[in-house]
Each structure stands twice: as C-alpha cells, then as structure tokens.
C-alpha cells in the first residue's frame, strides 16, 4: 500500500465512521450499531431533566414505608454501590422500546432483575421517570412529575 | 525554500498555518517517537486484556442477562458459557502478550484488534452501551494500517516509505480521537442551535452546566467532589461549559494544525478530570490516549508559542489573521526550523 493509498483509505474510513455515527442518530434515534458509537453525550441541556429511576419497595422481609431509590441502597446491592449507570440506560431503553413494541419488555425486565437486583429471594420494585429542574431539586427537593412505567417483583407471584 | 503541500482532501484547506509545514529532515526522529508511543499503547492494551477475567465471571451466573451483541454470536448461551469464558480470558492474555512483543506484525495487530473487540463486547453486555472502551478499540483498528515489514529492521533504519507510513497512521489515530470529540461537539451544537431557534432553555443559559451536573448527580444519586459547589454557584460553570463546546466542535481541526495538538490535548485532559470532579465519571483511558497520541505527539511542533497558537485557533485565529496580516506569516516562518 503506497503512502497516498494509505492516507486515502484512512480518510475514507473517517468519513464512513462519521456518516454512520450521524446516520445512526438520524435513523435509529441515538441507538448504537456496535462497535460504532454515535458520541452524543450530554447534548440535551434542559431545566426539565429526566431521570429514569429504579425504586425499591421491598427486599425480602424488609418493607419500606416509602420506596427507596436503588442507588441509596448500596448496603444491599453491589451495583448501587458502584453507581452503575447501566440501570438508568436500561430503564430509558425499556421506556422507549416498550412504547414501540410491548413484547420487548420482558427481556429488559429480566436483565434489570438479574443484573441489579440479584441476591435476594424477593425484591419488589418499580421503574419510573422523574422530571425536575436540577437546581430546584437540589435546593428545595422539588420534583415536577413522577411517571410510573412498570411495577414488578423478582418472584413470580408476589401476593 | 519551497513548501510543498500534499493532496490531503479537506486537509489542504485547513492546513494553512506556520509551524505545520512538512519537516522532512525530522521524519526519522518523528517516526521513531511514533513507534515508541505505539509500543506503549500495546503495553497498556496488554494491561487491559490481562485483567478482563474479573469482569466476566458475574455474567456467567446469569446467561439470561447477557443480551448478546453480534461479536459474541459464536459463544454458546448455555451452561457451557463458563468454559468458553475461561478459554477466552486465557486467549486474550496470550494475545495481549503477543501484541506487546510482536505488534510490528500485521497478523498480531489483527489478533489484538479482535481480542479487544471481544473485550469491549463483554464490557457492554446487558442491554446498555458505555463508550469507555470505544476509543481504545478504534485505535487498535487504525493501527492495522501501519506499513508492512516494520519487524525486518531496527526503528532507526526504516525506509522513507515506512517512516512516512508510520507517521500517517499515527496522525490518523490522533485524527480519529479528535473526530470523536467533534462528533460529540456536533450534537451539542445542534441542540444549542435548536433550543435557541425555539427560544427555550438551552446551553447558553448561565446555569446550563449546573443542570447537566445536577441531572447526572440525581441519575445515580452520586456525590461528585465539586458538584455541590457548582450547584451553589452555577454561573461559575458556564465559561467552562462554553470552552468545552468550542474545543469539542473544532477538535478535528487540530489534526491539520499540529500547533494545536498539545493545547487541545491539555484542555481535553482537563475536561476528563472535570468529568470526574463534576459528574463522577472517570475516563482514565481517554486521559492516557490524549496524552499519548496528542500531548506526546512528535507531529506537534516543539515548545509552546502563545501567538502562534492563538492564530491557529479555529475561527478566533482565522479572524485574527485577517487583521494581523503579513506579520503572522513572518513570525510563523521564523518559528519553523530551518530545512
């Protein structure tokens, strides 16, 4: 391969990558075609933030009066301790996928339960989206809206 | 002395500055330095492939949670996955060692690239993709284009064709990294334009960075070291936020203006330190990559000249040069080593 050929090849590769990355964003709504990442990171700046949230209602015999945020339960769940942001991405994906195809739900629910809630006989939980102004929430604890997507349990018959 | 410019696509329009003209007499030294840095890259790749075993053991207990990606289509998704993982971990470590010692062979670089793709695949199972390893993988892919026969002679005895080939691929590696930043900058800029066009809250608002930091903080209920400070004094974040927009949007231009490589690398490394301090997101790999392929790049001119750097800045420098006129060319040419 001559120097000019090598240079052209690398230019071509860069163009292909850039076009695919941008195309993914346009045609697949910011979903990735592995291993091409679209590099859309913290692009949306808003005062109406959206946080996908995993709320825990019960762990075995421990029933919470008020549901607890998964990430506040680091003493119970290792991935809460390590602040594994994948749970946020999975809930976001659940919300988007189920809106288009309701049959996509069970696989994502299984992934969330087995990856994040394992280690107990029974965990009751809900998947929610919280909307808020980050500064308002920080200073005054104000939440604008809570949207419930799914309520479930790691046992088949929670009754 | 004539300063020939190679046909470089869009590069010929962007490569207009002093200090980035071809420095033929230095190519031997520059290529050797590129090879040294590539050697470090394969050493660090071994370090990554060496420790993969710990990350896969948790998956094997729950095959259902894998949600496989296409590069692992060959793996059995049943109880025998444990054996496959064990074999794979061993293979990755062997390939990592081969990469360290024999990366000058194309076939070994290809093996490292495939092994790292597998590593990245396993790190991104479970239905959600993190981008922490993507840069590292794409570097291994770009390095496949290194010229053949590097193993036949010592690094200081490469042919002219090989020297230029090494430098071209090294520059492309840096170019890809910068392109990733520019892609990220493109999305940010697009959202900024859209929000301004619609007259709604966006990045130009004085507390925009605090909203990003607060949003991330509440996503994972984390407590980044400087997040609370910024939420108490949100206006302090805005200049940093705008600097980030500028550097990300125009990052790719630095590959055509090597005088910008080091300053941009410093800003991008500081940005990644910032992502930890404000967002609790550590990008140690990206710090290393920016350090190796930009800050330590032999393609960047030595030393640091403020005026030359300012005049090379995208948009700002382009406008300034109109006013400074002929003087910058003389200053710039004086700064280029004699050929």
Residues 85-114 of B with CB under 8 A from A: none
Number of CB atoms found within 10 A of residue A77's CB: 22
Q: How confident is the model at residue B6 (pLDDT cuts 50, 70, 90)?
A: very low
Q: Is the pLDDT of residue B38 over 90?
A: yes
C-alpha separations of B256 from A26, B174, B333 in Å:
28, 11, 17
Token readout for A102 is 């309701």
Task: Supply the pLDDT for residue A158.
Answer: 67
Tell me if B17 sits within 8 A of B311, measured CB to CB. yes
Place of tokens 């259902």: B64
- Which of A29, A46, A71, A87 best probes binding to B when mutated, by most B CB atoms within 10 angstroms? A46
Q: How confident is the model at residue B179 (pLDDT cuts 50, 70, 90)?
A: very high
The whole-model pTM stands at: 0.89
Percent over 70 (pLDDT), chain B:
84
Task: Supply the pLDDT for residue A18.
Answer: 92
Residue B187 sits at the chain A interface (C-beta within 8 Å): yes
Place of tokens 């231009």: B253
Q: Is the pLDDT of residue B211 over 60?
A: yes
C-alpha separations of B64 from A104, B180, B213, B320, B336 in Å:
14, 33, 34, 59, 61
Q: What is the arithmetic mean of pLDDT over A13-41?
A: 82
Residue B186 sits at the chain A interface (C-beta within 8 Å): yes
pLDDT tens sequence across A59-113: 999 999 999 999 999 999 999 998 999 899 999 989 988 888 888 888 889 889 8
Place of tokens 């009754």: A159
Residues 231-290 of B with CB under 8 A from A: 231, 234, 280
Cα within 13 Å of Cα(A82), Cβ side: 8
DSSP run (H or E) holding B45: helix B27-50
Q: Which residues contact B315 (CB under 8 A, 6 or more apart)?
A: B250
Q: Give the number of beta-carbon pairs within 8 Å between A and B.
A: 176
Q: Helices B27-50 and B160-198 sit at what angle, rounded to 10 degrees?
A: 70
Q: How confident is the model at residue B334 (pLDDT cuts 50, 70, 90)?
A: very low
How far is the C-alpha of B250 from the C-alpha of B184, rounded, in Å? 10
Option in B187, B213, B220 nearest A83 (CB): B220
Q: Which residues contact B24 (CB under 8 A, 6 or more apart)?
A: B339
Residues 140-159 of A with CB under 8 A from B: none
How far is the C-alpha of B267 from the C-alpha of B291, rounded, in Å? 11
Question: Does residue A138 have a cis bond before it (omega within 30 degrees)?
Answer: no
How far is the C-alpha of B215 from the C-alpha of A47, rounded, in Å? 9
Under DSSP, is residue B218 helix (H, G, I), strand (E, B) or coil?
Answer: helix
Closest CA to B34 of B137, B133, B146: B146
Cα within 13 Å of Cα(B240), Cβ side: 20
How far is the C-alpha of A47 from the C-alpha of A135, rounded, in Å? 8
Under DSSP, the state recorded for B283 is -
Task: Supply the pLDDT for residue B339.
Answer: 36
- Please state which of the ranges A4-18, B136-150, B182-196 shows the lowest mean pLDDT: A4-18
- Please state which of the ranges B56-70, B95-109, B125-139, B286-300 shows the lowest mean pLDDT: B56-70
Number of CB atoms found within 10 A of residue B66's CB: 20
- State the DSSP string of chain A: --HHHHHHHHHHHHHHHHHHHHHHHHHSTT--BTTB-----S----SSEEEEEEEEEEETTEEEEEEEEGGG-TTT-HHHHTT-THHHHHHHHHHHHHHH-GGGHHHHHHHHHHHHSTTSS-EEEEEEEEEE-HHHHHHH---SEEEEEEEEESSS---
Alpha helices of B51-80 — where are they, by DSSP H? 53-60
Q: Is the pLDDT of residue A143 over 80?
A: yes
Residue A97 sits at the chain B interface (C-beta within 8 Å): no
Q: How confident is the model at residue B53 (pLDDT cuts 50, 70, 90)?
A: low
Number of CB atoms found within 10 A of residue A54's CB: 23
Tell me if B81 sits within 8 A of B61, measured CB to CB. no
pLDDT tens sequence across B128-177: 788 889 999 999 999 999 998 888 888 777 888 899 999 999 999 999 99
Q: How confident is the model at residue B86 (pLDDT cuts 50, 70, 90)?
A: confident
Start-to-end CA distance of chain A, whole Å, equals 69
Q: What is the arithmetic mean of pLDDT over B42-62?
A: 76
Task: Supply the pLDDT for residue B61.
Answer: 56
Alpha helices of B124-226 — where are they, by DSSP H? 134-142, 160-198, 208-220
Q: What is the arithmetic mean of pLDDT over B24-28?
A: 79
Tell me if B230 sits within 8 A of B278, measured CB to CB. yes
- As to burial, measured by CB atoms within 10 angstroms (0-12 exposed, 13-18 middle, 19+ buried), residue B36 is middle
Task: Supply the pLDDT for residue B270.
Answer: 96
How far is the C-alpha of B132 from the C-alpha of B240, rounded, in Å? 22
Beta-carbon separation of A3 and B161 below 8 A: yes
* b/e burial code for range B188-215 (CB count within 10 A of at least 16 → b): bbebbeebeeeeebbbebebbbbbbbbb
Percent over 90 (pLDDT), chain B:
57
Token readout for B326 is 């002929």
Handedness of CA B299, B304, B305, B311 (dihedral sign): positive
- Please state which of the ranges A75-79, B55-59, B155-159, B200-204 shows the lowest mean pLDDT: B55-59
Q: Helices B27-50 and B134-142 sit at what angle, rounded to 10 degrees?
A: 130
Task: Supply the pLDDT for residue B62.
Answer: 61
Average pLDDT score, chain A: 89
């Amino acid at each position: 391969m001559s120097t000019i050929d090598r240079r052209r090849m690398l230019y071509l590769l860069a163009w292909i990558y850039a076009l695919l990355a941008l195309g993914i964003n346009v045609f697949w709504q910011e979903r990735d075609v592995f291993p091409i990442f679209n590099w859309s990171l913290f692009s949306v700046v808003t005062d109406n933030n959206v946080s996908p949230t995993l709320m825990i209602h019960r762990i075995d015999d421990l029933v919470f009066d008020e549901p607890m945020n998964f990430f506040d339960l680091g003493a119970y769940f290792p991935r809460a301790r390590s602040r594994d942001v994948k749970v946020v991405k999975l809930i976001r994906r659940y919300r988007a996928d189920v809106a288009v195809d309701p049959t996509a739900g069970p696989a994502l629910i299984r992934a969330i339960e087995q990856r994040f809630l394992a280690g107990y006989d029974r965990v009751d939980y809900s998947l929610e989206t919280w909307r808020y102004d980050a500064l308002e929430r920080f200073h005054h604890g104000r939440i604008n809206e809570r949207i419930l997507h799914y309520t479930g349990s790691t046992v088949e018959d929670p009754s | 002395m004539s300063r020939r410019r190679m046909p470089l696509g869009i590069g010929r329009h962007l490569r207009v500055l002093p200090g980035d003209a071809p420095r033929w007499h230095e190519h031997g030294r520059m290529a050797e330095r590129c090879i040294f840095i590539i050697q470090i890259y394969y050493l660090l790749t071994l370090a990554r492939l060496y420790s993969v075993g710990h990350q896969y053991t948790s998956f094997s207990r729950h095959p259902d949670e894998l949600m496989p990606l296409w590069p692992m289509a060959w793996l059995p998704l049943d109880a025998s996955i444990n054996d496959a993982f064990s074999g794979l971990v061993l293979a990755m470590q062997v390939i990592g060692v081969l990469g360290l010692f024999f990366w000058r062979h194309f076939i070994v670089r290809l093996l490292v690239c495939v092994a790292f793709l597998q590593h990245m695949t396993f790190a991104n199972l479970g239905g959600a993709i993190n981008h922490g390893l993507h840069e590292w993988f794409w570097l291994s892919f770009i390095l496949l284009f290194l010229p053949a026969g590097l193993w036949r002679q010592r690094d200081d005895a490469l042919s002219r064709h090989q020297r230029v080939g090494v430098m071209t691929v090294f520059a492309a590696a840096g170019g890809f990294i910068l392109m990733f930043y520019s892609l990220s900058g493109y999305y940010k800029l697009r959202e900024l334009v859209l929000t301004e066009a619609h007259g709604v809250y966006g990045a130009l608002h004085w507390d925009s960075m605090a909203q990003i930091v607060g949003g991330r903080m509440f996503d994972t209920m984390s407590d980044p070291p400087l997040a609370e400070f910024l939420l108490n004094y949100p206006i302090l974040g805005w200049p940093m936020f705008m600097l980030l927009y500028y550097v990300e949007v125009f990052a790719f231009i630095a590959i055509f203006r090597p005088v910008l490589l080091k300053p941009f690398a410093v800003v991008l490394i500081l940005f990644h330190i910032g992502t930890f301090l404000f967002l609790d997101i550590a990008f140690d790999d990206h710090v290393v990559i920016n350090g190796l392929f930009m800050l330590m790049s032999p393609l960047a001119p030595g030393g640091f000249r403020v005026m030359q750097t300012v005049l090379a800045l995208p948009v700002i420098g382009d406008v300034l040069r109109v006013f400074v006129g002929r003087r910058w060319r003389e200053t710039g040419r004086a700064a280029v080593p004699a050929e």
